[in-house]
């Protein structure tokens, strides 16, 4: 079990124990006496542009290609991709409505490439209905696991190992690289805190160099 997973599980246990105490199930909170696992610092790990190009070529199905584009050009998580519906897209403004973590609703303007992709899908109903066979449940749309497996499979065929969530990292990083204000990037990524956005956005050497080049000092300070 990774340090991040241990930290996540411990946080869940602490939340349960706090609820038990708050609702009178028990008088104390046993989690207060347990050491908190240290959560390792996360670093941005976006797919590179050349990897994304190879990934799109390796997509062996139309829906797999669309999964990839929704991750890279809208920053959707796999569970959000799985339940996209035609009704989620405004045909006039091309704004995508997303129901994210905790049922939070957000509206995201769609990239031109996604607008073109949307024309290939129904305007009503789920874009990615579940495959019907005797081994599957009666779910209306594909599972998040199925989306994740399809993208991961395409990554393997493209010749590199990665995680589908790296497409979301690509989305945030490329927005920053394009000069988009960090507050706008935060809103597009649907983060409550800019600190969370920072985890997803990598700043490269060229951006650092460009930033330093904008430093200036009064000429009299530089006089020998």
Residue of 87, 99, 100 lying closest to 126 (CA atoms): 87
Helix residue spans in the chain (DSSP H)? 3-22, 49-58, 62-74, 78-82, 112-118, 144-157, 166-177, 182-189, 194-200, 205-213, 219-222
Taking the C-alpha atoms of residue 17 and residue 131, their distance in angstroms, rounded to an integer, is 40
| Per-residue pLDDT at 213 | 63
Q: Return the closest-CA partner of residue 157 out of 83, 68, 81, 43.
A: 68
User: In the CATH hierarchy, which fold is given to the domain comprising 49-163?
Assistant: hpI Integrase; Chain A (1.10.443)
pLDDT for residue 100:
82
Backbone phi and psi for residue 202, each to the nearest 5 degrees, phi listed first:
-90, 135
> Domain map of the chain by residue range?
49-163
Identify the three-state secondary structure at position 3.
helix
As averages over each run of 10 residues, the pLDDT of the chain (224 residues) reads 80 90 90 81 80 94 95 94 95 91 86 93 94 66 94 95 92 86 86 75 66 59 52
pLDDT of residue 101: 79
Helix, strand and coil percent figures for the chain, each rounded to 5: 55, 5, 40
Per cent of the chain over pLDDT 90 is 47
Q: Cα–Cα distance between 3 and 155 in angstroms, integer?
A: 25
Residue 65 Ramachandran class (φ > 0 left, ψ -120 to 50 alpha, else beta): alpha
- Residue 41 has a pLDDT of 66
């Amino acid at each position: 079990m990774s340090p991040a997973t241990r930290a996540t599980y411990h946080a869940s246990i602490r939340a349960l124990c706090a609820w038990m105490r708050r609702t009178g199930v028990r008088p104390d909170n046993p989690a207060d006496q347990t050491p908190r696992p240290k959560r390792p610092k996360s670093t941005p790990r976006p797919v590179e542009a050349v990897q994304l190009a190879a990934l799109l070529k390796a997509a062996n199905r139309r829906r797999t290609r669309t999964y990839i584009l929704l991750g890279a050009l809208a920053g959707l998580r796999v569970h959000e991709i799985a339940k996209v519906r035609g009704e989620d897209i405004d045909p006039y403004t091309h704004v995508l409505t997303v129901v994210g973590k905790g049922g939070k609703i957000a509206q995201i303007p769609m990239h031109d490439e996604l607008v073109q992709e949307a024309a290939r899908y129904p305007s009503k109903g789920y874009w990615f209905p579940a495959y019907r066979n005797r081994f599957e449940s009666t779910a209306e749309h594909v599972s998040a696991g199925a989306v994740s497996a399809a993208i991961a499979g395409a990554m393997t065929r493209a010749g590199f190992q990665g995680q589908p969530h790296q497409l979301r990292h690509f989305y945030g990083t490329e927005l920053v690289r394009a000069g988009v204000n960090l507050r706008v990037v935060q809103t597009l990524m649907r983060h409550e805190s800019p600190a969370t956005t920072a985890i997803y956005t990598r700043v490269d050497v060229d951006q650092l160099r460009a930033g330093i080049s904008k430093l200036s000092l009064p000429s009299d300070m530089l006089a020998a």
